[in-house]
Structure 1
């Protein structure tokens, strides 16, 4: 959350936190919109300076946005403990051929498929038994 430290008739002094920025991102506000807001609402004495918002502040806001967007969460399902290497490879081939496969570890015989295809994969495993 952003903390308001002082509020005067023509000035608000506050702190921007990672949590407050992430909250803004979750509500669809972009880093560029936040930076634009800070520039547009800068105190007149600061607004005349170039840059009106310090580069370390704008860089940090952009970094937090790129950090948040770096990882994509995909619901998935892990399959492991296959009775044989052959069965594991058949499952990998099936998942790969149908576009379900997200990751596989041949050495440990584990694979991860997209979560929405778990029923199809479960049915394939049932038929293979």
Structure 2
């Protein structure tokens, strides 16, 4: 496909037409509106499908340092900028792969995909280590390093907010996810948070 050129959806199969919405969400195509009968490829899609990729993607020996190729979002969606069969096969061991394009593989890390990996003898530490080792440079820039504890499995939203607010007062919250009712606290604050939770539990008995 050519950048700036419009294409008609009438020439697409039913499967390709169904994928248009996802491609639009990924920024790979552009449509004037959702019901438009024509679409255009974006610069991102023409770059990814080019025969001269802008990102190094091979695992083997190279003349320079190997850059990472994996981007993992907070919703567990995985983007791997690679056309290397070995890299794709490794990702398939613990990722539910959805789409494969030239130079790009898209998938998600799900409960089922991780369970499959564990049953095949792959540990959680190995998965995390692989993702960190092969993280894309842009992802490394946004990476926070720290030692601490993940607080999850709260009985209610009220309990989650109560403990989270207490941890924020102590200034020990490193990361939080309100949708999943969990947060990550620093190692230094664990004693106080643990004591707070225990006092709350004892008081409710």
TM-score by length of 1: 0.45
* Bigger RCO of structures 1 and 2 (CA < 8 A, at least 6 apart): 1
Q: Which has the higher helix share?
A: 1
CA radius of gyration, larger in: 1
